[in-house]
Amino acid sequence: MRKLLVIFFTLAFFAGQAQILQPTKWQYQLSTTNYKPGDTIELIFKVTIDKDWHLYSSDFSRDLGPMVTTFTFEPNDTYELIDSIRAINPKKGYDEIFEGDYTYFVGTGEFRQTIKVLKSNLHFDGDFEYQVCSDIDGRCIPFDTEFSQHDFGISTQLEKKSELSSDTGYKESENLLPEERGLWGFMLFAFITGLLALVTPCVFPMIPMTVTFFLKEQEKGGNGRRKAIAFGLFIVFIFTVLGTLTAFLLGAETLNELATEWWLNLGIFIIFFVFALSFLGLFEITLPHQLVNKIDAQSDRGGLIGVFFMAFTLALISFSCTFPIVGSVLVLSAQGEFVKPILGMLSFSLAFALPFTLFAFFPDWLKKMPKSGGWLNSVKVVLGLAELALGLKFLSVADQAYHWHILDREVYLALWIVIFGIMGLYLLGKIKLPHDSPLEHVGVLRLLFAIITFSFVVYLIPGLWGAPLKGLSGYLPPLTTQDFTLSDAKTIQLPLDKSSICEAPKYADFLHFPHELQGYFDYTQAIACAREQNKPLFIDFTGHGCVNCREMEARVWSDPRVLQRLRDDFVLVALYVDDRTTLPESDWYTSTYDNKVKKTIGKQNADFQISRYNNNAQPFYVILNKDEKMVIKPRAYDLSVDGFISFLDEASRRYKEGETFRKELN
């Protein structure tokens, strides 16, 4: 009985390890079913992703490492593509292994392709490749999925088209939950920037002046408090209208360009740079006095109309100080969203209007407010330096898009170190600008800000030598743009062992092993060499976009004990399941697993892993004898160096003793 239980649980565990995973479900939809030749419509690809998995998006560099989602459409004369595929509001992340920024989806995702209909009998087909990775154990799985117009409910005859059923209708609620947290965080950011705008030199002096007007109204027996509330509501209205007009006039597509197009990012950098110079005191940015005076004259009118023009006048007068901050809110909202800029400006204006209303209700608070003076110019200078530093992010986007390499990571960091170093010295009074008041002593608050600033500078310095600086990964250029890192000087040097291979490996001109290991990239070559050398064959099912594969190589394979065993005791073959190199047509074949023609190195390797070992996750390590039988249970992602050494040693022992692992994976 005990043996039966052991066998049962062993088989159950192994079956769980070997199963074919399908962490995604796709749905297809048209933006409209009422179309005719000449119309443009959208093909919508929606995906539901299992919990604890994420899917890489389509809008980051292919050179980074993770597998980019790629759509391929077969051309015909019934349609034409308009622009390229668009990922709708993916999340952003930084990969420490590949050292660069990437985008991804969790929970749900969506891609859209705009097409122009050329003929009434619209038909199309294609396929898309993508990769999903587990957040729990790091497994990464590539997929290749085909589609046609039938998946979208399109008949090839126009008269047979019908409306999509309610079951396949677009469900906005599916996307709300994944975005909810990010939206609340953005609104909090916008609220904080609204509070920050209050201490700028253009706004702060106006708080007591404006509130005093409403208090005098109240002393005269008027409705000062009501007018103060109306004043605050008008401020909210004016700034929210700005966000609404931005959303309506520019639209989601143009807003998304603010975050992706190089020329817009370059333009935004110039705006930030100009306002930074103004904050530093080089010149003053003001609106035409005639415009301000005309609007201010309207504020003398009675009733709510006069209060509205007072609020409008405040918005105009504060323009030179609030525009860079408002611009930051609008730019950060530019992720293809329509609602986000509206909610952002609503949050900003609530914080901005709050003191005017509160001080009108609690007039004694005015006596406790600090007087306007030189400290306001100090705030302006600090904001100017911050604008200068943050503006570099937009220049970096343009720099990477056109590969100018004028703002690579070390240059970017050097500029930040200098800018924030100057900020720290300024806060301590060691640097003075033309409009500064004499600083007799450094206050406690100013000293604390200086400490924080210099601590930040110290944190930045190791980045010049390749420190990842995880907290700033979203703002810095990728580490791959850095010319030198200390890790470059720490590469493991082992003597080359040409005896570990029998003949020149295929594909070695573009595929490589880490740590100067020698091996093959073609299974047929590798098993032949393993037989010739009488060594076990170590199969590494891997991928260019497999984060955990790189982590295994960096943290486990790099151990000298592991390297020695891999080099001396095995013939190695790395089978990349996501390589897109097309093979000669004579090497193509139709898979018995999915009946699809496998044309590339990656698709053939992935098919080999699935059909032979009933597994589609990477990394996946299999060790075979010369009869192509497993000598030990395969091993997946596990960062235990000792465990990996035991795996290799036990496989070597079993090979020498002629033992095989008799459990069948399927």
- Residue 148, Cβ neighbours under 10 Å: how many? 14
pLDDT digits (tens, 9 = 90+) for 69-82: 999 998 888 999 99
- Span 358-381, mean pLDDT? 67
What integer pLDDT is reported at residue 324 of this predicted model?
56
Cα 409-413-415 angle, rounded to 5 deg: 120
Separation CA 292–CA 300 (nearest Å): 13
Same domain, 243 and 313: yes
Is 1 part of a structural domain of the chain?
no
CA dihedral 461, 463, 465, 466 (to 10 degrees): 170
> What's the pLDDT tens digit per position in 5-25?
333 333 333 333 445 678 899
Same domain, 241 and 159: no
- Between 26-40, 137-151, 483-497, 500-514, the lowest mean confidence (pLDDT) is in 483-497
Q: Is 382 helix (H, G, I), strand (E, B) or coil?
A: helix
pLDDT at position 162, please? Answer: 35
Q: What is the mean pLDDT of residues 236-258?
A: 62
| CA-angle at 547, arms to 542 and 550, nearest 5° | 65
- If you average pLDDT over residues 341-361, what whole number do you get? 77
Report the CATH number that the domain containing residue 546 is assigned in CATH. Answer: 3.40.30.10
Q: Residue 140 pLDDT > 50, yes or no? A: yes
Based on the fold, state whether residues 362 and 404 are members of the same structural domain. no
Which of 462, 490, 518 is the C-terminal boundary of a domain?
Answer: 490
Whether residue 121 sits in one domain with residue 34: yes
484 and 623 share a domain? no
Residue with token string 């979208």? 152
Q: Considering the domain boundaries, does residue 159 fall inside one?
A: yes
pLDDT at 337: 52
249 vs 295: which has the higher pLDDT: 249
Domain boundary among 440, 460, 490: 490
Peptide bond into 477 cis (omega under 30): no
Note the pLDDT of residue 373. Answer: 57
pLDDT band, residue 211 (cuts 50/70/90) = low
Q: Which pLDDT band holds residue 291 (cuts at 50, 70, 90)? A: very low
Pairing outcome for strands 537-542 and 571-576: parallel
pLDDT at 510 over 70: yes
pLDDT of residue 509: 85
Q: pLDDT at residue 101 above 90? A: no
Q: What is the pLDDT of residue 181?
A: 46
Q: Is there a single domain that holds both residue 380 and residue 234? A: no
% pLDDT > 90, the chain: 24
Mean pLDDT of the chain: 76
Q: Let me know whether 131 and 74 are in one domain.
A: yes
Taking each helix axis as running N to C, give the angle between helix 374-402 and helix 262-279, from 0 to 180 degrees, rounded to the nearest 10. Answer: 160
Average pLDDT of 43-50? 93
**pLDDT tens sequence across 593-645:** 878 899 889 889 988 998 888 887 788 999 999 889 999 999 988 888 999 99
Q: Is residue 173 domain-resident?
A: no
User: DSSP alpha helices (H): ranges in 429-484?
Assistant: 444-460
The answer as to whether 531 is a domain residue is yes
* Span 579-588, average pLDDT: 88
- Of all residues in the chain, the percent with pLDDT exceeding 70 is 68
Whether residues 41 and 99 share a domain: the answer is: yes
Within this chain, do residues 342 and 381 fall inside the same structural domain, yes or no?
no
* Number of domains forming the structure of the chain: 4
- Range of weakest confidence among 134-138, 183-187, 287-291, 569-573: 287-291
Q: What is the pLDDT of residue 59?
A: 87
Residues 159 and 187 in one domain: no
Q: Is pLDDT above 70 for 664?
A: no
Phi, psi of 348 (to 5 degrees): -60, -50
For the residues 88-116, what does the mean pLDDT come to? 87
Average pLDDT over residues 504-530: 90
Task: Give the predicted TM-score (pTM) of the model.
Answer: 0.43
pLDDT at 462: 92
User: What is the rounded average pLDDT of the residues 407-411?
Assistant: 87
Q: What is the pLDDT of residue 6?
A: 38
Position 18 scores a pLDDT of 43
Q: For residue 156, is it within any domain?
A: yes
**What whole-number distance in Å separates Cα of residue 401 and Cα of residue 477?**
12
Q: Which residue has the higher pLDDT, 183 or 288?
A: 183
Dist. CA 654–CA 661, nearest whole Å: 9
Regarding whether 156 and 200 lie in a shared domain, the answer is: no
Q: Is residue 7 part of a domain?
A: no
- pLDDT tens-digit series, residues 534-569: 999 999 998 876 667 877 887 899 899 999 999 999
When mean pLDDT is compared across 194-198, 223-227, 300-304, 633-637, the lowest value belongs to 300-304
For residue 17, tell me if it sits in a domain. Answer: no
Burial class (CB in 10 A: 0-12, 13-18, 19+), 614: middle
Among the three residues 335, 369, 403, which one is the final residue of a domain in this structure? 369
> Secondary structure of 86-121 in the HEC alphabet?
EECCCEEEEECCCCEEEEEECCEEEEEEEEEECCCC
User: Would the pLDDT of 96 be above 50?
Assistant: yes
From its phi and psi, is residue 539 left (phi > 0), alpha (psi between -120 and 50) or beta? Answer: beta
The pLDDT confidence band at residue 167, using thresholds 50, 70 and 90, is very low
Roughly what angle, to the nearest 10 degrees, separates helices 319-332 and 224-260? Answer: 50
Among 196-210, 380-394, 601-615, name the one with the lowest average pLDDT.
196-210
In the block, which residue shows the tokens 């980019």? 68
Residue 98 neighbours by CB distance under 10 Å: 20
Is 90 exceeded by the pLDDT of residue 109? yes
Section 385-408 average pLDDT: 77
Report the CATH number that the domain containing residue 106 is assigned in CATH: 2.60.40.1250
What does the angle CA 19 – CA 24 – CA 28 come to, to the nearest 5 degrees? 140
Top pLDDT among 498 and 571 is at 571
Q: Tell me the CA distances in angstroms from 315 to 25, 134, 200, one per residue in order.
A: 49, 49, 13
Q: Can you give the three-state secondary structure of 608-660, one letter per residue?
A: HHHHHHCCCCECEEEEECCCCCECCCCECCCCCHHHHHHHHHHHHHHHHHCCC
Give φ, ψ of 576 to 5 degrees: -80, 120
**15 falls within a domain:** no
In this prediction, residue 525 carries a pLDDT of 94
Let me know: does 601 contact 507? Beta carbons within 8 Å. yes
83 and 163 housed in the same domain? yes
Domain of residue 554 covers: 492-657
Q: Which of 371-375, 401-405, 527-531, 606-610 has the highest mean pLDDT?
A: 527-531
